[in-house]
Amino acid sequence: MPMWKLKTFEELDVHVLYKLLQVRSEVFVVEQTCVYQDIDGFDTKAIHFYFEGNGVIKAYARLFKPNDYYTNFTSIGRVLVAKSFRKQGLAHQLIKKAITYLQKNHPDFPIKIGAQLYLKKFYESHGFVQVGNSYIEDGIPHIYMILEF
C-alpha cells in the first residue's frame, strides 16, 4: 500500500537511503542534465519526506527545522516527483503535506525555499511569494520564495 513517510536521517535504512539518492540523481542530475553536488551535507539535518509504493519512491522532499538551512526560516528542498508518476497530483499533495508539517511543528517560523524559476506559479498556488531577484544555481534560474503563516 502506498504511504507518505517522514524520517530523520538516522531512521532511514540503507536501502531506503539508496532509493532516495537514486531518484534524486535521476531527476536532478540525469533528467535536468545538471552536474552538481547532490550530497551536500544537509541530509543529516533534514527530515526526509517521501511517498513510496511497491518499493518505489514516487515523490520526495527534504524538510528543515528553523535555522537548519536558512537562518530564521524552516525550509523545503529537493522537491521531486519521479518522472513516471507525474500528472497525478503528487507534487501538490507533497507540498501541502510538507507545509502542514512545518506549520504544525514550527508555527513561529515562515518557510523559505530556493525554487527553480519555472515552478514559480506552482509555488504561488500554495501561497509562496517571490522575494528578491532571480539567480543562477547550477546553471538553472532560481528564485527565493517565502510562505508566511
Domain limits for position 59: 3-147
CA distance 61 to 24: 10
Q: Would you place residue 90 in the very low, low, confident or very high pLDDT band (cuts 50, 70, 90)? A: very high
Q: What is the pTM of this model?
A: 0.95
Per-residue pLDDT reduced to its tens digit, 32-85: 988 888 999 999 999 999 999 999 999 999 999 999 999 999 999 999 999 999
The tally of domains found in the chain comes to 1
| C-beta separation of 148 from 131 below 8 A | no
pLDDT at 73: 98
31: domain CATH number is 3.40.630.30
Q: How far apart are CA 77 and CA 80, in angstroms?
A: 9
pLDDT in the model for residue 100? 98
Res 1 pLDDT > 90:
no
